[in-house]
Amino acid sequence: MHTVELLLDAPLEAHVRTVWRDLLAMGLRSLASHEHPTNRPHVTLATADALSPGVAPALDGLPLDVELGDVVFLGRTVAWRVRPSAALLSVQRRVWEALDGRERNPLHEPGRWVPHVSLALRVKPELQDLYPCDVGAASGHVVAARTYNSETRTVTALP
């Protein structure tokens, strides 16, 4: 599978990494312990079995302002919700539509998609109450895009 992801500006990325470390220091699962070189805070716009040539033009409009708000639980993922601005929703919809004809993750369908930055993965439901529901708000920009190939575990910048 291939993801289409938006990357955070340096100050916002550093802030997310601080929250990751804080969670780990509390003895909780966190992406701070995921040491693969491709691991960095991001907002996933879509996941598909393959990319299409229309994805790069769909990303026009970067950078975008983003605001991180409350903590939400999406299945077994602990996430910092991104407030869905009209500009962010527009980019996500264009990416989704550019992937038409590909097998796409239905959770990323416009209107269903929950924009977020993951804080921890594979958290057992019975442990979710241990996570703080509020890590404060943060704001910054998404400044670039990439794709992650889950088969090869590699990333490629998207123009």
Report pLDDT digits (tens) over 43-72.
999 999 999 889 999 999 899 999 999 999
For the entire predicted model, the pTM comes to: 0.94
pLDDT tens for each residue of 9-52? 999 999 999 999 999 999 999 999 998 888 999 999 999 999 98
CA distance 42 to 36: 14
CATH of the domain at 51: 3.90.1140.10
Is the Cβ–Cβ distance between 109 and 115 less than 8 Å? Answer: no
Confidence of residue 101 (pLDDT cuts 50, 70, 90): confident
Number of domains, the chain:
1
Model pLDDT, residue 36: 86
Confidence of residue 158 (pLDDT cuts 50, 70, 90): very high
Domain that holds residue 111: 2-158
